[in-house]
A = this chain, B = another copy of it.
Amino acid sequence: MTDIRLIEAAELRLAGHARRTPLLNAPLLDRFAGRRVFIKAECLQWTGSFKFRGAWSALTALPPETRARGVIAYSSGNHAQGVAWAAHLHGVPAVIVMPADAPAVKVANTRAYGAEVVLYDRTTEDRDALGARLSADRGLTLIKPFDDVQVIAGQGTVGLEIAEQAAAAGITAADVLTCCGGGGLTAGIALALAARAPALRVRPAEPAGFDDTARSLASGQHERNATLSGSICDAIVTPTPGQITLPILLRHCGPGLVVTDDQALMAVALAFTHLRIVLEPGGAVALAAALFCKDLPDTVICTASGGNVDPHVFATALSRFSDLH
């Protein structure tokens, strides 16, 4: 079980390597929201998302001889880039297994961060079998995207920073909204805040139709999404919460929040206008919840978890919603 000591240990390993991202706010955004809204800008983290923290934490927790053989991950998104860059900085091989139809820019970026990309055909090849063969042949260690205690511990360092930055901003109580996929970031922050700032309550935010975590929190058991595609918030769509993450969320989180794709795009546009940061839709769902959900307290802190957005999607958000103020 991940606890605060593992997060504190991860914090030491990340010191000087992960970026301490700012807690931003803006008067005109508060005015729009009708409450105080603070944004933990993890889009400014290395590789553009919080995923670098978990990757670095997991890599540095490996025995040196194991790490030296290299790591492997299955991802075409932010986890891929985080693992690739963390491995590059350690000078160890990273193999990222991606579907052959992944966007070319994601393949290119992952390679640019120094990883070897292995493509597979989704229709004819078994990703897990391919990964297992590569791991066995080359002694690679699998870095899971969320269901790994050291990954959760790394993401939990976001929570340690939120606790400190909230105290410095004079915030004594707030809801802390997270962009929630498998729950690694949410679990890490929840553990950190339970130990350091218990008046800050974590609530996961998800896209409508992909609210497995909100439903799992309500029922107390693993609920699944009916489908895995069709949301613009693709970065945070997962089938069901993790085996390790859900028990943590059940213990520490308030009820989940759900936003529409359009609300996520509005949050992207408002972050552009008022915060001058670039968010991907999946990285904007917590901000969307802060802006559009009911039954929130006067002060809300949101993670802005990632900013690796397709330029066409971003331009769409601007063309549809940049007249919001």
A325 interface hit (Cβ, 8 Å): yes
Please tell me if the beta carbons of B307 and A27 are within 8 angstroms of each other in the complex. no
By the criterion of a CB under 8 Å from any partner CB, how many residues of chain A are at the interface? 36
Beta-carbon contact of B318 and A112 below 8 Å = no
Known interface pairs A27-B113, A113-B27, A277-B278; A272-B44 also in contact (CB < 8 Å): no
In contact, B109 and A44 (Cβ under 8 angstroms): no
* Chain B hits for A22, CB < 8 A: 19, 21-22, 44
Q: Does A315 contact B (CB under 8 A)?
A: yes
Is A62 among interface residues, defined by CB-CB distance under 8 A? no
Q: Are A307's CB and B276's CB within 8 A?
A: yes
A308 to B314, alpha carbons, bound, how many Å?
16
A195 sits at the interface (CB 8 A): no
Q: Pick the residue among B24, B27, B112, B322 that contacts A311 (CB under 8 A).
A: B322
Cβ-based interface call for A145 (8 A) = no
Q: How far is the CA of A322 from the CA of B315 in the complex (A)?
A: 11
A26 to B24, CA, bound (A): 20
Q: Does A124 contact B (CB under 8 A)?
A: no
* Docked pose: A269 CA to B309 CA in angstroms: 12
Out of B28, B48, B278, which one reaches A109, CB within 8 Å? B28
Known: A19-B22, A278-B278. A112 touches B31 (CB 8 A): yes
Return the 6 tightest CB-CB contacts between A and B, nearest first: A276-B307, A311-B322, A276-B278, A43-B276, A311-B318, A315-B315
Interface residues in chain A, defined as those with a beta carbon under 8 Å from any beta carbon in chain B: 19, 21-22, 24, 26-28, 31, 41, 43-44, 46, 48, 85, 105, 108-109, 112-113, 269, 272-273, 275-279, 307-308, 311, 314-315, 318-319, 322, 325
Write 10 A-B pairs (CB below 8 A) sorted by A numbering. A31-B112, A43-B276, A105-B325, A269-B311, A272-B278, A272-B311, A273-B311, A276-B308, A311-B318, A311-B322
